[in-house]
Amino acid sequence: MAGEEITRSAENSQQPVLVLPTDEHRIRQLEAKREEYKERLAAQAAEDPYKHPDLAQSPRGRMKLAILDRLLETGELPIWDFSKEFIALHEGLLILLGPQEFKSQWDDSVYVIESYCTTGGAVLRGGTGLPDID
């Protein structure tokens, strides 16, 4: 798994594409991580149910969940195209964070999910990492 090619350029473009690993164990870990993100965001939203999700939930957590969810659903993710789709659905985050901070958090979220796919998160610092799955 380590060193497995996880990004490639989309056909006839330089767009990076995140590719789901083929290892079943890693896929189960990623599915469990998706559930962890959902639970964490739900808990954040429950703290103040009247607050808009853009304010109540971690932007980076929402980004990582969206990236991971789509990757698990489709098997690959054209990163630039999906970022435009995400912005269209969550325009408030772009306004709240500003373009540069949004890009920074988006890039970090892509890096985290890519690292989970390639190394199980071994190169990441902080965070909860991938869950242990038997």
* Strand (E) or helix (H) holding 16: strand 16-19
Global pTM?
A: 0.87
Q: What is the pLDDT of residues 73-107, one digit of tens each?
A: 999 999 999 999 999 999 999 999 999 999 999 99
44 CB burial (10 A radius; 0-12, 13-18, 19+):
middle
Mean pLDDT of the chain: 89
Structure tokens at 94: 């772009």
